[in-house]
Amino acid sequence: MGWKGARRKAASTTSAAVVALVLAAGTPVGAQPRTGTVPPFGAVVAGQNASPARTPPPPRLPRDFRGKGKWIVRDLDITVPFTWEGRGGDSQMTAGGPQYPIWFTNLIYHGTLYTLTYKWPGLDEHPCSRIPGFDLEALNEQFENARFVGRETLRRGPERRVNHWRVGVVVPNLPPGNHPRLPLALGDIYVDENDRGTFWQVLQFGVQNLYDPELDEWLVMDTFEHRPGTVTLPQRCEPPR
């Protein structure tokens, strides 16, 4: 879910929030299809049984979790530490810190989506963006519409067997046919094959990445535990008193 703030104002509340959290596209970091994997849409791999494998349930972010990893911006050759934590349905991403070239935090907090970018190359403005009316349930409802790409293995230490999903936001929402459309963003999400609530990798691509010249950024988790984390709303994002 980064969700870097003011650039989402052109989207609707729901689309902007989904874009902010998980949207992505591209070649996954070290991901390879597993031998014998049945492709989506009911196709059958030669040599496999005649019936296709059952599609797994879509991703679902849990209410309580904590994990550490890396935030990767390949075209800028920048990799910074990354944490993602949830507590009681609120959640917070933090990438980098004051000693790094990139530093931002994104939160779902008490039914509002917040984005605050402290540091980014070439960025002079640092407002706290707020999108009200968005919570964990709304995010997971969007995940229900994700498209299953396939079963894959992330080839890094340790190797992880994952289910690969894709989420897309296109505006306007029109029926099939010759209609003008804007591909707002895509998201590739990799969750543990045995637990749809364990997120190992997300590649974001789209207008939510306008700070990045090539519009794509990665989060790669090294750990992901189902224990309550810490979620703290920055003082700059608190409403005026």
Tokens found for residue 199: 């997120």
The pLDDT value given to residue 172: 77
**Measuring CA to CA, which residue among 75, 73, 119 is closest to residue 100?**
119
Write down the H helix ranges in the chain. Answer: 13-22, 136-143
The pLDDT value given to residue 157: 81
| Cβ within 8 Å of residue 79, ≥6 positions away | 70, 71, 72, 73
Find where tokens 């004051």 sit. Answer: 98
Task: State which residues of the chain have pLDDT below 50.
Answer: 1-3, 5-28, 35-51
The pLDDT value given to residue 197: 98
Q: What tens digit of pLDDT does each residue of 194-239 get?
A: 999 999 999 876 656 667 666 688 999 999 999 999 999 999 998 8
pTM for this predicted structure: 0.78
The pLDDT value given to residue 26: 38
The pLDDT value given to residue 213: 65
Enumerate the domain spans of the chain.
6-33+57-236
Assigned CATH class of 6-33+57-236: mainly beta
The pLDDT value given to residue 44: 30
Find where tokens 């995010």 sit. Answer: 139
The pLDDT value given to residue 212: 65
